[in-house]
Amino acid sequence: MTAAVEAQRLVKHFGGRGGTVEAVRGVDLSVSKGEVFGFLGPNGAGKSTTVKMLTTLMSITSGTALVAGVDVAADPDAARRRIGVALQEAGLDPRQTGRELLVLQARLFGSPRGEAADRAQSLLELVDLVEAADRRIKGYSGGMKRRLDLASALVHEPEVLFLDEPTTGLDPASRLTVWDEVRRINRRGTTVFLTTQYLEEADALCDRLAIIDGGVIVREGTPSELKSQLRERQGLAYGPTLDEVFLDATGRTRERIEGEVQEVHA
């Protein structure tokens, strides 16, 4: 059985006036079919860059990436048919209505007109946007936009769904709705690759996760594996939280963060 995502020594350099930025420096990833995979890391760690490379939206400096068994660099269109992606910044067109946007997206993925309309309707129901469906997206709230963006990533029932911080900026109720949604999508057999800043989200949703820092993977495993590793290594008497795993992995200890905060206040 091929993996849903298989990346080897993935590298991304950005050339700019101020020299090259090495955003991703040799990332290996292996996500099994049917998993919800969490991809964590501090700001600027290279999460979004990795997601964009895996979803054909950005060229790969070196290394290879197979998604749903397709080499994304060699055959991007075949990969695109199997991938759904909702990026960190919801990419919507404010002048269309929610329904128009979904119909257009479904048609670009090959559905004929009638089928696209049906698909749009069922997705609108799924993300609870039926009432707002025929209003322009310009007037949607942040949470509505996120939900519409999520729906638009699902028009073609992708095998692998990439969600880059899907719950950032959502109220607690909407966040739970998205969690339910992710679980439901996953139950239907879609592999989910999800980045997040919220560790309780990773804990609640993800079967396995990787932590990236400075462009390299620093931890990988199931949430409980990672927690018990830390517990053993530090000889802790209590079970650490995923937050502690994260802080340990990224070298941002509580003490240091508190120290930094004090300096700022001084």
Partner 1 sequence: MSDTWVLGQRGLRETLRTPDSLIPTLFIPVFFLVVNVGQAGKIFPSGTTPFLEGQNYAAFQLPSSLLLAASFGTAALYLVEDIEGGYFDKLRAAPVSRTSIVLGRLVAEGAKNLAITAVMVLLALPFGISIATGPLGFVLLLLLTAGWAVVFAGFMQLIALKTRSAAATNAGGLVFFPLLFLTPNFVPRDLLTRPMEIAATFNPVTYIMEAMRSFILEDWTWSRLGPGFAVVAVLGVVMVVLNVRMIRTYD
Contact residues for Mg ion, defined by CB under 5 A: 47-48, 88
Q: Which of 26, 64, 73, 81 binds partner 1 (CB under 8 A)?
A: 81
Nearer of residues 9 and 138 to partner 1, judged by Cβ: 138
Q: Residue 100: which of ligand ATP, partner 1, Mg ion, none does it interact with, CB under 5 to 8 A by kind?
A: partner 1
Q: Residue 204: which of partner 1, Mg ion, ligand ATP, none does it interact with, CB under 5 to 8 A by kind?
A: none
Query: Closest by alpha carbon to 170, among 191, 148, 192, 186?
Result: 148
DSSP state of 59: -
CB of 54 to ligand ATP, least distance (A): 12
CB of 167 to Mg ion, least distance (A): 13
Q: Does 152 bind partner 1 (CB under 8 A)?
A: yes
CA distances from 41 to 52, 101, 194, 195, 215 (A): 16, 32, 12, 8, 9
Nearer of residues 107 and 231 to partner 1, judged by Cβ: 107
Q: Does 16 bind ligand ATP (CB under 6 A)?
A: yes
Nearer of residues 27 and 160 to ligand ATP, judged by Cβ: 27
CB of 150 to ligand ATP, least distance (A): 17
Q: Which of 22, 30, 42, 57 binds partner 1 (CB under 8 A)?
A: 57
Residues 6 or more apart in contact with residue 69 via CB below 8 angstroms = 2
Q: Which of 43, 77, 255, 265 binds ligand ATP (CB under 6 A)?
A: 43
Q: Classify residue 164 as exposed, middle or buried by CB count within 10 Å of its CB (0-12, 13-18, 19+).
A: buried
CB of 52 to ligand ATP, least distance (A): 8
Q: Which of 3, 4, 5, 23 binds ligand ATP (CB under 6 A)?
A: 23
Q: In this structure, is the dihedral angle defined by the CA atoms of residues 69, 72, 76 and 81, taken in order, positive or negative?
A: positive
φ/ψ of 30, rounded to 5, equals -140, 115
CA distance 29 to 64: 11
- Cite the beta strand spans of 45-181 per DSSP E: 62-67, 70-71, 83-86, 160-164
Residues 6 or more apart in contact with residue 127 via CB below 8 angstroms = 147, 148, 150, 151, 181
Q: Does 44 bind ligand ATP (CB under 6 A)?
A: yes
CA distance 265 to 259: 10
CA distance 79 to 160: 10
Site residues for ligand ATP per CB under 6 A: 14, 16, 21, 23, 41, 43-49, 88
Site residues for partner 1 per CB under 8 A: 14, 55-59, 77-78, 80-81, 83, 85, 87, 89-96, 100, 104-105, 107-110, 136, 152
